[in-house]
Structure 1
Amino acid sequence: MNTQSKIRFLAYTAIVAALYVVITLSFSWMAYGPIQLRISEVLVLLAFIDRKYIPGLVLGCILANLSSPIGPLDIGLGAFATFLAVFFTSRTKNLFIATLWPTIFNGLIVGGELYFLGFATNATFGIHPLIFSCVSVAIGEFVVVSIIGYILFNVILKNKNIVNALKITGKDF
């Protein structure tokens, strides 16, 4: 990897991490908690375009979760969920299927985390709190990534100029 490729990779990583943090914190009122719509999660679909976005997305999640009301556990588990989501997203050939990985991993991991830390209770609906917690996080992810993200990235993927501009990978990278 030459110096120019390294600089490009570091720049993209920093920009994506910063975007993830800024978007998450700008909408923090709905980004944390048992029912969450983390708008920044739409960025995970960048990994569908280029695997080199994975470090920036995971770093962005770590930095955004420094503000989490749950604390240090959310930094680790949230980053782990994001890593799994973007890893599988980057290896999936179908865009819609790729959008489901964040829904699955965040629903299970973050939903489980919220339940076990006591942030999720739901006596009102008569649903077991663990199931409610996992489903509520998964629904938020589905809305942001599988609906909004799918529509947005479908448009992006139809424009080869935008796709080429978003690719980090060079022939020597």
Structure 2
Amino acid sequence: MNRNIRRLTVAAMIAAVYLVLTMLFYITSFQPMQSRLAEALTVLPYFTPVAIPGLFVGCILANILGGNGIWDVVIGSLSSLLAAYLTYKLTYNKPKRKWLAPLPAVVINAVSVGIMLSVLNNLPLFATILSVGLGQILACYVLGFPLLLLIERTRKLNELFKDIS
């Protein structure tokens, strides 16, 4: 299969999984004190830069269908794009740094989405940042980091990401 088609297919699969997970757990994905379990996928740029557009497109689609309007489509999606890019730059091909893979998504989304939700819902700023940050820790470290370890140990999944990078 053509390498570019394979990359596009993997990016589309990541976007689709992100969207489906977000919609399946809608009740926790779009509340003022949110925890978006699809954020566990934000560790994928550790394996391949192809995950960056996949996560971005998945987030855009989820935010379009979600309940927080244009602000979430723009701010939330750009935050995910920046976090995915920083995860890639910080950890790609650096196995000793894999524990840092979830960190950009936790910090960037806690601050940017926390501020956005605080303003949109007239909630206390610090509490909202803290709440989103805790949700991100749950999704990215409690779920995402074990996902990263599982992919590393699963030969077929690991090969999938190596073949497209």
Distance 1:168 1:40, change over 3 A: farther
Shift of 1:69: 1.8
Which residue in 1 is equivalent to 2:130? Answer: 135
Match for 1:35: what amino acid?
M
Within 2, Cα distance between the matches of 1:156 and 1:67? 29
Unaligned runs of 5+ in 1: 122-128
Number of aligned residue pairs: give it.
160
Match for 2:136: what amino acid?
E
The answer to whether the 8 Å contact 1:9/1:168 transfers is: no
The answer to whether the 8 Å contact 1:27/1:39 transfers is: yes
Match for 1:164: what amino acid?
E
Shift of 1:113: 0.3
The answer to whether the 8 Å contact 2:6/2:164 transfers is: no
Which residue in 2 is equivalent to 1:62? Answer: 60
Within 2, Cα distance between the matches of 1:63 and 1:167? 27
Structure 1 outlier segments of 4+, above 3 Å: none
Question: Normalising by structure 2, what TM-score?
Answer: 0.90
The answer to whether the 8 Å contact 2:34/2:131 transfers is: yes
Larger Rg: 1
Unaligned runs of 5+ in 2: 92-96
Taking the TM superposition and a 5 Å limit, the aligned residue runs for 1:8-157 are 8-93=6-91, 94-117=97-120, 119-121=121-123, 129-157=124-152
Question: Normalising by structure 1, what TM-score?
Answer: 0.86
Which residue in 1 is equivalent to 2:94? Answer: none
Shift of 1:120: 5.0
Shift of 1:56: 1.0
What root-mean-square deviation, in Å, do the aligned CA atoms of Structure 1 and Structure 2 show?
A: 1.6
Match for 2:150: what amino acid?
V
Within 1, Cα distance between the matches of 2:146 and 2:7? 27
Within 1, Cα distance between the matches of 2:163 and 2:129? 34
Percent identity between the aligned chains?
A: 30
The answer to whether the 8 Å contact 1:34/1:120 transfers is: no
- SS of 1:167's equivalent in the other structure is helix
- SS of 1:35's equivalent in the other structure is coil
